Amino acid sequence: MRLPTWLAQHLAALRALLVFTVLLGLAYPLALVAAGRIPGLADKADGSLVSAGGQTVGSALIGQSFTDADGNPVPRYFQSRPSAAGDGYDPTATAASNLGPESVVDTIATDPEESTLSLLTQVCERSKAVGELNGVDGRRPYCTTDGVGAVLAVFRRDGLTGPVTRVVSVNQVAPAAPFLARYEGMPVELAQPGEDYVAAGGLVTPIRGDAPAEPAVPADAVTASGSGLDPHISPAYAEIQVERVARERRADPAAVRRLVDSHTTGRSLGFMGEPGVNVLELNLALDRQFPAR
Amino acid sequence: MTVTTAGVLFILSLVVALVAVHKPFGDHMFRVVSGQRHSRVERGIYRLVGVDPAAEQTWGVYARSVLAFSAVSVLFLYGFMRVQNHLWLSLGFDPVMTHGAWNTAVSFVTNTNWQWYSGESTMGHLVQMAGLAVQNFVSAAVGIAVAVALVRGFARRRTGDLGNFWVDLTRITLRILLPISVLGALALMIGGAVQNLSAGTEITTLTGGSQTITGGPVASQEVIKELGTNGGGFYNVNSAHPFENPTRWTNWLETFLILLIPFSLPRVFGRMVGQNRQGYAIAAVMAILATASITLTNVFELTGNGTVPQAVGAALEGKEVRFDVSNSATFAAATTLTSTGAVNSFHDSYTALGGGMLLLNMMFGEVAPGGVGAGLYGLLVLAVITVFVAGLMVGRTPEYIGKKIGSREIKLASLYFLVTPALVLIGTAAAFATGNNSTALNVGPHGLSEVLYAFTSASNNNGSAFAGITVNAPWWNTALGICMLLGRFLPIIFVLALAGSLARQQPVPASEGTLPTHRPLFVGMVVGVTVILVALTFLPALALGPLAEGL
């Protein structure tokens, strides 16, 4: 029996797909899984697992949260970057924040559960917290001293132009004090939960403030990574944590600093990427050399 | 060394590597697609498939073979995902729901690899390696095969024959994609990419929390994801994930793999038409657009304009410490200039103009250098349009590589060009008209950018995302699936029809009045035509999105 051409064609297509599925979908990956059993490669193919005291405690490539059950940082450990993966560093729910560069207005609902923070406020909050934890200046441009985005909704008589009629600090609610007393002569109000000042016609106006252009808290300490699993922090973020960790462990800061240096990976071939400190491996080394008493 | 110097060296080293390999590698590809001898394995495959490798196909048969193979692939993949809970290595995941399975099946068959799902919580290992990763190979091979068929149209004379799709598919897969994938996967494994069948290792962290270290055949899928300009990540966070892209040098390698085939195909074109300089002219157009785009993306990201980047002190949200801003920006530009769509940083959090640049890269129709095969045929269509425009200016019959560009040819080229803008703009408008834009995470201009990015990415078969938008909904999965399908196969049909009508012609000898198509003048004109066509089409939409946000 001769099949009609169109059917013969689809039959050939199906056969081709099955052949390639066996070849490329089974033989190829499984051969590589087998190759991954070669000594020397096996540890890596299995996920670069690291152990302490006979227990597997993580992967050298996957970051962890060094926080207690309530989510507060454990001060004797170097802290990782913020993470948007699940509740933080969850490899089964990897994610980035996906918030944009002009995400600056919080949604403050009457029910605090429904409020969402803008990226700017998250950055300001983290900067303040990291500053306090490490005893450095946590101020940043466009942040209030109480750690939210310094953003005004400015209402003008003619919409975009004309004299200012009303000014609201959109990310601050009572009992905070407005970060700015007056703006173009008008007193600055606090936001009321549940109000949408942008929809009401207020012009979003971030205020730079007088924070230093190069804040003491480094950039990676206040931003979430793309993977949510970033195993590294910048050497600068490690540096501001050295004194605290040394104090907690009653160790010599210089010795801790040397340990940081030995866990810092530089650029590949001198020009690829940027240096980073592997936080999990550093903390493991600290536990070995300076066990907390 | 400063951050900028290191970033520039990263780009320069990629350029040097591509310049060094494009010739030997392009020559290898040329031999693969024009050779006549078949290996024993290949003959075995032809017997199993039931095709005669010596049989030549007309454009219609070639196109129907492409479509049949793709249709069967979509159905197979759809079924695979729908029954995954009954299969080996399903990790206990449920079957993928209907609209999601449709979207993903289309997405991987069209070389788009748009992902509405998180790999680590949706797809079992078997679906990933025997379903999705297989399409990573064959959809790439389809793209290259179609480009080769178009080039045969230029190279051949007075014939209807464009080669044999099944032979092209097999040879490209076995002789180009597979060997590099094996080597590349081993290299990535040396860097730390995982390759196992583990369902995950539950561990207790240093501070007593719990964490699941995921497993999977990742390295084998990662390498073809980049080499075939596919982009569908094993994990949700794609090449930002340390198990997919563990080190600074694997990041370089992955960027190189993304650009390798697209930048080597012009060499194949030059060899096949017997004039290497024609290939260099095409490569020059790609290189000019790519260099400009990579440079601008880096400048925008390193400058870090915008309120949040200014507050942070760098555009570091959504980026890894090991890649930092510059290498992330370079990867992002490479992935959107090709049809890859893999990401090692999150485009949604880019500066307004940096993100806008990525959007623009895709709007160029992905010709600089574009996806594997798709980039070459896209740019050849633009070259055809350019000789037509030039012909109008000087009042001569336009011709390219000795072939007359008559009314049939220019109609096909124009139809090719119109497909994606129509899909992007109609799709975006439909999302707003039906209120489905409300799933965007951000509001205002950035919200428009998210919707526009989604349709641009799907219609151009890129697959990267301004990931803030929630697209796991019936409307989105269906609409984007349609855009991916039409955005892939309508252009392919037009390209093959164009190839068919070119192959039938007797070449006209070059004369005094022939526009030389290998000179800088022509290169500049193709760049100009590309930029102007795209700008005219998309500027209004861009003005409402990234430009409104960034200026």
Please, what is the average pLDDT of chain B?
94
Which residues in chain A show pLDDT less than 70? 1, 293
Query: Which residues between 170 and 189 in chain A have a beta carbon less than 8 angstroms from any beta carbon of chain B?
Result: none
Angstrom distance (rounded) from CA B20 to CA B29: 15
Say what the pLDDT of residue A1 is: 60
Q: Which is more confident, B516 or B151?
A: B151
A265/chain B closest Cα distance in angstroms:
9
Does residue B423 carry a pLDDT above 80?
yes
Angstrom distance (rounded) from CA B310 to CA A104: 12
Q: Residues with Cβ < 8 Å from A262, sequence gap 6 or more?
A: A285
Q: What is the ipTM of this complex?
A: 0.95
Say what the pLDDT of residue A293 is: 62
The CA angle B113-B229-B298, to the nearest 5 degrees, is: 105
Angstrom distance (rounded) from CA A190 to CA A108: 12
Chain A residues within 8 A of B464 when measuring between CB atoms: none
Does residue B497 carry a pLDDT above 80?
yes
Chain B residues within 8 A of A56 when measuring between CB atoms: 201, 203
Average pLDDT of span B223-238: 94
Average pLDDT of span B365-370: 88
Chain B residues within 8 A of A35 when measuring between CB atoms: 186, 189, 195
AA letter at B133 = A
Q: Residues with Cβ < 8 Å from B133, sequence gap 6 or more?
A: A24, A25, A29, B217, B220, B221, B224, B225
- A39 CB near a chain B CB, below 8 Å? no
**Between A and B, how many residue pairs show a Cβ–Cβ distance under 8 A?**
388
Say what the pLDDT of residue B287 is: 97
Say what the pLDDT of residue B95 is: 95
B127/chain A closest Cα distance in angstroms:
9
The answer to whether A188 and A180 are in contact (CB under 8 A) is yes
Say what the pLDDT of residue A37 is: 96
Instruction: Give the model's confidence band at B498: pLDDT under 50 very low, under 70 low, under 90 confident, else very high.
Output: very high
Query: B91-131: per-residue pLDDT in tens?
Result: 999 999 999 999 999 999 999 999 999 999 999 999 999 99
- Say what percent of chain B tops pLDDT 90: 86
Angstrom distance (rounded) from CA A190 to CA A147: 15
Does residue B551 carry a pLDDT above 80?
no
Does residue B526 carry a pLDDT above 90?
yes
Radius of gyration of chain A measured on its C-alpha atoms: 26
Average pLDDT of span B60-87: 96
Instruction: Give the model's confidence band at B438: pLDDT under 50 very low, under 70 low, under 90 confident, else very high.
Output: confident
Does residue B344 carry a pLDDT above 70?
yes
Task: Quote the pTM value.
Answer: 0.96
B357/chain A closest Cα distance in angstroms:
15
The verdict on a CB contact (< 8 Å) between A96 and B240 is yes
Backbone angles phi and psi of B399, in degrees to 5: -145, 150
Say what the pLDDT of residue B434 is: 93
Backbone angles phi and psi of A203, in degrees to 5: -85, 125
Does residue B190 carry a pLDDT above 70?
yes
CA distances from B432 to A161, A208, B56, B435 (A): 29, 34, 47, 5
Nearest to A274 among B48, B312, B324 (CB): B324
- A224 CB near a chain B CB, below 8 Å? yes
The answer to whether A156 and A165 are in contact (CB under 8 A) is yes
- Say what percent of chain B tops pLDDT 70: 100
The verdict on a CB contact (< 8 Å) between B311 and A68 is no
Does residue B31 carry a pLDDT above 80?
yes
Nearest to A269 among B118, B200, B249 (CB): B249
